[in-house]
């Protein structure tokens, strides 16, 4: 019995759901539109203000798909109603971030600046205040896409364990190492 799959997905006001013949769930909300492709064997039913996901049998494959598609549809509902945001912090002397439309320019201690073209679904904002580290804020309706973009930006200069310099998520706890100890 899938505990996640059996939970109904409640729809907030302003969110509409349409299930097509080829089992594609289209969601429309105040922040945008998103669609989720569902396996043909899994049934999606829309009743009143809830979405229910049903599976045809108790096989292991159907049980795993049941919970998966319920979670994907729930993430899409939250995305079109509230949206998702990720914040990255640049820790290091001289590290800069500048956002121009869908282009993000990073200066993170390499021999050259890095320019990243972001997808149209992701909105970016870079903020630099005096005496604090630059912060990049990403926002989107697609949880998977924003996580992928944030991980890609972090991978350009991951935080190192001695001083913590690099690109890290805001609120991320880093395990620090002790430096060299003097020999006696």
Q: How many CA atoms lie less than 13 Å away from 20 in the CB half-sphere?
A: 10
Residue 180 has a pLDDT of 85
Neighbour-count burial of 40, counting CB atoms closer than 10 A to its CB (0-12 exposed, 13-18 middle, 19+ buried): exposed
Q: Please check whether the two domains, 3-81 and 84-169, share a CATH topology.
A: yes
Is 57's pLDDT higher than 80?
yes
Q: What is the pLDDT of residues 64-82, one digit of tens each?
A: 899 999 999 999 999 999 9
| Homologous superfamily, domain 84-169 | Ribosomal protein L6 (3.90.930.12)
Is 155's pLDDT higher than 80?
yes
Q: What is the pLDDT of residues 104-119, one digit of tens each?
A: 999 999 999 999 999 9
Q: What is the pLDDT of residues 81-102, one digit of tens each?
A: 999 999 999 999 999 999 999 9
**In whole angstroms, what is the distance from residue 131 CA to residue 165 CA?**
16
User: Structural domain boundaries of the chain?
Assistant: 3-81, 84-169
Reported pTM: 0.89
**In whole angstroms, what is the distance from residue 15 CA to residue 46 CA?**
12
**In whole angstroms, what is the distance from residue 158 CA to residue 154 CA?**
6
**In whole angstroms, what is the distance from residue 145 CA to residue 85 CA?**
11
**In whole angstroms, what is the distance from residue 158 CA to residue 41 CA?**
41
Q: Does domain 3-81 have CATH number 3.90.930.12?
A: yes
**In whole angstroms, what is the distance from residue 84 CA to residue 143 CA?**
6
pLDDT confidence of 184, banded at 50, 70, 90?
A: low
């Amino acid at each position: 019995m899938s505990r996640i799959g059996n939970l109904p997905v409640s729809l907030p006001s302003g969110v509409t759901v349409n299930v097509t013949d080829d089992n594609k769930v289209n969601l429309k909300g105040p922040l945008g539109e998103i669609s989720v492709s569902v396996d043909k064997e899994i049934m999606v039913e829309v009743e009143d203000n809830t979405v229910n996901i049903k599976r045809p049998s108790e096989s292991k494959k159907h049980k795993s798909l049941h919970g998966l598609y319920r979670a994907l549809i729930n993430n899409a509902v939250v995305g079109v109603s509230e949206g998702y945001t990720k914040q990255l912090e640049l820790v290091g002397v001289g590290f800069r971030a500048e956002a121009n439309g869908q282009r993000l320019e990073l200066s993170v201690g390499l021999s050259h600046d890095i320019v990243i073209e972001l997808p149209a679904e992701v909105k970016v904002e870079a903020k630099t205040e005096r005496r604090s580290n630059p912060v990049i804020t990403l926002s989107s309706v697609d949880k998977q896409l924003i996580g992928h973009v944030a991980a890609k930006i972090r991978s350009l200069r991951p935080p190192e364990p001695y001083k913590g310099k690099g690109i890290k998520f805001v609120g991320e706890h880093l395990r620090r190492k002790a430096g060299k100890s003097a020999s006696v």
